[in-house]
Amino acid sequence: MTSQHSESTGTAARPRGSSVLLRFALYAVSAVIVLTLLWTKVSPWLSYPVAWISHVALEQGAPMWVRAVHRQPGSIEVDSAVEVVVPNSGGRRAEITLDADPGRYAFGLPIFCGLLFAAWAVARQPGRLWRLALGYVLLLPVQAISLVMYLLMQLAGAAQFDLRVLRVDQWQLEAIIYGYQVGVLVLPTLAPVLVWLLLDRAFFSDVIVHGWKQSMAVK
């Protein structure tokens, strides 16, 4: 009798733990896909603060390189003070101009919103709106780092990574390359997950971790 009771308990516990994880994963993936499609329409305006922060960071952090920064929804353009020889121009030199779409480096917002929605869909816990607003604000400086590092890497590449043209030391050029790898290749997807874990840690601990432990306990 004891064995049968234990088996029936285990059989009942398994769907609960596995079901929570599966539902959360399905909701999250579906929401991220839908919100990413929506993001392509609204990103010029929602990513505008990223361009503004990047504008300030470039002018304050690299004044020897930046002459002017022009921004509008969906675009940021940097007029640099770095001159390079124009190919096939007989030695004529020109200053490098950079441009980028801030929304390309702020796509972590749909990921964050998708995770936030999935948590609500699974547990129906309140407090989604303030988490959404706070998460948006917390992601802005991270997204600005990604955009700035992309622009600096483009500048270095256009100058053929020439230390004399860029007027920097070797360690500074290596810092730009490393910052680009982290800021453009890692942060855009890692940051929204970390911000969600920070703001929704109670849900993660009580629902996700508990569900995972339940599913593992009966294996």
Provide the domain limits for residue 106: 17-207
For 52, counting Cβ atoms within 10 Å of its Cβ (0-12 exposed, 13-18 middle, 19+ buried), the class is middle
Nearest to 149 by CA among 138, 157, 160, 159: 157
Q: Do the domain assignments include residue 123?
A: yes
Measured CA to CA in angstroms, residue 54 lies from 57, 67, 142, 145, 187 at distances of 5, 14, 10, 7, 16
Q: What is the pLDDT along the chain (219 residues), one digit of tens a residue?
A: 444 444 444 433 334 556 878 888 899 999 999 999 999 999 999 999 999 999 999 999 989 999 999 999 999 999 999 988 877 666 688 899 999 999 999 999 999 999 999 999 888 877 889 999 999 999 999 999 999 999 999 999 999 999 999 999 999 999 999 999 999 999 999 999 999 999 998 887 777 766 666 666 655
What is the pTM for the complete model shown? 0.84
Q: How far apart are CA 42 and CA 36, in angstroms?
A: 10
Q: Do the domain assignments include residue 7?
A: no
Residue 48 has φ and ψ, to the nearest 5°, of: -60, -40
Q: Do the domain assignments include residue 215?
A: no
Q: Are 96 and 84 in contact (CB under 8 A)?
A: yes
Q: How far apart are CA 155 and CA 158, in angstroms?
A: 5
Query: How crowded is residue 165: how many other Cβ atoms within 10 Å of its Cβ?
Result: 17
Dump strand ranges (E) for 45-197: 66-72, 75-85, 93-100
Q: Do the domain assignments include residue 118?
A: yes
Q: Do the domain assignments include residue 201?
A: yes
Q: Do the domain assignments include residue 219?
A: no
- Tell me the three state secondary structure of residue 70: strand
**Per-residue pLDDT tens over the stretch 25-44:** 899 999 999 999 999 999 99
* Residue entry with tokens 């929602």: 46
Q: Are 87 and 27 in contact (CB under 8 A)?
A: no
For 41, counting Cβ atoms within 10 Å of its Cβ (0-12 exposed, 13-18 middle, 19+ buried), the class is exposed
Q: Do the domain assignments include residue 8?
A: no
Contacts of 88 (CB under 8 A, 6+ apart): none
Nearest to 42 by CA among 136, 134, 115, 129: 136
Q: Do the domain assignments include residue 59?
A: yes
Q: How far apart are CA 151 and CA 212, in angstroms?
A: 42
Domains in the chain, number: 1
